[in-house]
Structure 1
Amino acid sequence: MRYIIIGAGAVGATIGGRLAEAGHEVVLAARGAHAQALRADGLRLTTADGARVHRLPVVAGPAELGELRPDDALLLTVKTQDAIPALDAWGDAEVAGGGTAAQRLPVLCLQNGVETERLALRRFARTYGVCVWLPATFLEPGVVSALCAPRTGILHLGRAAGGTDRLLAQISADLERSGFAAPVVEDVMRWKYAKLLGNLGNAIQATTGPEPSPAKGALLLRAIREGKAAFAAAGIAYASDAEQAAARDGKAEQPPGVVRGGSSWQSLARGTGSIEADYLNGEISLLGRLHGVRTPVNDTLRHAANIFARESLPPGAMSIEDLTALADEAEARP
């Protein structure tokens, strides 16, 4: 099987590099300065095992590969806001022997949030979800670090529509040999909804900085309470805190004392001009509006994060007191 990593950023490059180390064929799809650095200097990947350089094929899109192979697996690791162009471009690519990638090849969605699977299912006959627990850092073109140990990360795998199959068993085995825990589950979206609750804090990190504080924790709890209320109203099941803790226990621990900016913080730090808050806090806002649940805290976090991205404000430029005051004002409105 050949793994094509569509969006070789923090998560994609880490998985691609680790798969390559284990002897698997990997292609990285990337753009701009990052693609240039990957081609010129290789992927400079640091994990708990140390630093090394991987010189892997790098493409901007499917045209550079020609016909795709029937044994290709597409790992979609772009942010949700970039998913539609990627799904369309790769979905239309022709596969040797006839048909398109959307008709014949599997696509695995490795985004935070739950929207990409729905976008992919509209296009791809074989759509899979992956719940990603893989703290990684990507701030400089061509350079990625992921320091968890003893496993580099935890990747729950399942069919987006529910259930499992033989392909997932094979991919799980490949990932396990590459340094990940990769359990195959019947209900992967249940795990992704659970992780979404934690990701509601990404906007807090992005706007006020990654350093933890009681005030940041309190605001996150308010956002999570809204999320759980929206899930309850929508009849959405999610993995419990105990299940998540058991799945992670001792498998992928971050180095002690390391304060790391998450994916949204990194988007602002790299000046990408976009952020995934519409598909994290915005998912709760959407569910709240559909099911009659007020979500003023998540509305505030989504709005603030988007202003930071749109206006290229530096991450952490807002105080948690100011952000909390905005949430309080929104909550007080009728």
Structure 2
Amino acid sequence: MRYIIIGAGAVGGTIGGRLAEGGHEVVLVARGAHHDALRTGGLRLTTPEGTRTHQLPVIQSPDELDGPLRPDDVLILSVKTQDSTAALDLWSARPVAGGGTAGELLPLVCAQNGVESERLALRRFRRVYAMCVWLPATHTEPGAVSAAATPVSGMLHVGQYPSGADDTARAIAADLEKSRFLAPVAPDVMRWKYAKLLSNLANAIEAVSGVIDGDEAKSLLGRALAEGRAALTAAGIEAASPAEQAAARDGRITLAPLDGAERGGGSSWQSLSRGTGTIEADYLNGEIALLGRLHGVPTPVNDALQRVANTFARERRPAGSLPVAELAAMVDAR
């Protein structure tokens, strides 16, 4: 199979680089300065084993592929959710060699935070797979990504959307396992993605305040999590438990220092650091706000975190520039 990584940032770049190291054919899709750096200097992937440069095909759109898509292509969508619709529209109608389109024939894997992209994808693609991404990775410099986990780079649960597991899911998981990932095949993969959604409620706090440790940050996160759990319960949605998540990773993955690469914050912090002008809060804290409104559960903390994170992104304020005490006061003022 050839893997086309649509969004070769922290997650996509690490997955693409590791798959290439595992002997798999990979095409990277990127934009702007990152695309230019990948084209001229290659993908610089830093892990605890060191830094390697991978010279891989890099494109900005499917028009730049050498010919139509192939029947053995796997599309891995790893853009932020706010960019999903544009990417899905761009790729779904592309012709596949031998007849048909990508949306009709090819598997598309949503390797993203949140739970919305799978729904968006299923409107355009018949074969949608969900991936629960636990992959501590950083992308703040064009052409470079780093991943600090060892002895594997992360855990990537894979399954059909909305549920199930087929030969394609098993083949993708096998390729990932050969490429320094743990990749359990999970027929109930959305349980894992909803659990990850709860953990990602911390992203807005970290992005705007720069911290997630400390009593004030932990208290604020605890309140956001309580709202999240109440909203999921009211919606009848089950998430993998903290004990399940710990059992899956404990003793199998650790974080290690990286030579020449500083570990930054999570994906939302990185968006603010790069000054992208957007952030994924609408699909993290905003998903809990949506469920709360649908099912009559108040979510004032997540509402406020969503609003503050979006303001920071829109106004391109520096990551970590709001003291957590001021953030908490803003939340309590609503």
TM-score interval, smaller chain = over 0.9
Q: How far apart, CA to CA, are the structure 2 residues paired with 1:165 and 1:252?
A: 27
Aligned to 2:158: 157
2:315 partner letter: E
TM-score by length of 2: 0.97
Q: How far apart, CA to CA, are the structure 2 residues paired with 1:116 and 1:194?
A: 16
What is the aligned residue count?
A: 330
Write the mapping of 1:313-324 to structure 2, written as runs, cut at 5 A: 313-324=317-328
2:83 partner letter: D
- Structure 1 SS opposite 2:193: helix
Q: How far apart, CA to CA, are the structure 2 residues paired with 1:166 and 1:51?
A: 34
Aligned to 1:134: 135
Q: How far apart, CA to CA, are the structure 2 residues paired with 1:176 and 1:327?
A: 42
Write the mapping of 1:289-308 to structure 2, written as runs, cut at 5 A: 289-308=293-312
2:276 partner letter: T
Q: How far apart, CA to CA, are the structure 2 residues paired with 1:186 and 1:19?
A: 23
Kindly state the Cα deviation for residue 5 of structure 1 after the two structures are TM-superposed: 0.2
Q: How far apart, CA to CA, are the structure 2 residues paired with 1:320 and 1:238?
A: 28
Aligned to 2:125: 124
Write the mapping of 1:59-208 to structure 2, written as runs, cut at 5 A: 59-65=59-65, 66-208=67-209
- Please say if residues 107 and 127 of structure 1, whose CA atoms lie closer than 8 Å, have aligned partners that are also in contact: yes
Aligned to 2:47: 47
Q: How far apart, CA to CA, are the structure 1 residues paired with 2:306 and 2:254?
A: 29
- Please say if residues 48 and 152 of structure 1, whose CA atoms lie closer than 8 Å, have aligned partners that are also in contact: no
- Structure 1 SS opposite 2:155: strand
- Structure 2 SS opposite 1:34: helix
Kindly state the Cα deviation for residue 59 of structure 1 after the two structures are TM-superposed: 0.5
- Structure 1 SS opposite 2:217: helix
1:10 partner letter: A
Kindly state the Cα deviation for residue 322 of structure 1 after the two structures are TM-superposed: 1.0
Q: How far apart, CA to CA, are the structure 1 residues paired with 2:97 and 2:48?
A: 39
Aligned to 2:264: 260
2:327 partner letter: L
TM-score by length of 1: 0.97
Aligned to 1:272: 276
- Please say if residues 209 and 322 of structure 2, whose CA atoms lie closer than 8 Å, have aligned partners that are also in contact: yes
Show structure 1 runs of 5+ residues with no match: none
2:267 partner letter: S
How large is the RMSD of aligned CA atoms in angstroms?
1.2
Q: How far apart, CA to CA, are the structure 2 residues paired with 1:249 and 1:223?
A: 25
Kindly state the Cα deviation for residue 212 of structure 1 after the two structures are TM-superposed: 2.0
- Please say if residues 46 and 52 of structure 2, whose CA atoms lie closer than 8 Å, have aligned partners that are also in contact: yes
Kindly state the Cα deviation for residue 259 of structure 1 after the two structures are TM-superposed: 6.0
1:81 partner letter: Q
Aligned to 2:10: 10
- Structure 1 residues 166, 110: closer, same or farther in 2, change over 3 A? same
- Please say if residues 27 and 58 of structure 1, whose CA atoms lie closer than 8 Å, have aligned partners that are also in contact: yes
1:21 partner letter: E
- Please say if residues 158 and 184 of structure 2, whose CA atoms lie closer than 8 Å, have aligned partners that are also in contact: yes
- Please say if residues 232 and 291 of structure 2, whose CA atoms lie closer than 8 Å, have aligned partners that are also in contact: yes
2:30 partner letter: A
1:198-226: CA deviation from partner (whole Å, max 9, x where unpaired): 10010000100036212111110100000
Q: How far apart, CA to CA, are the structure 1 residues paired with 2:212 and 2:302?
A: 20
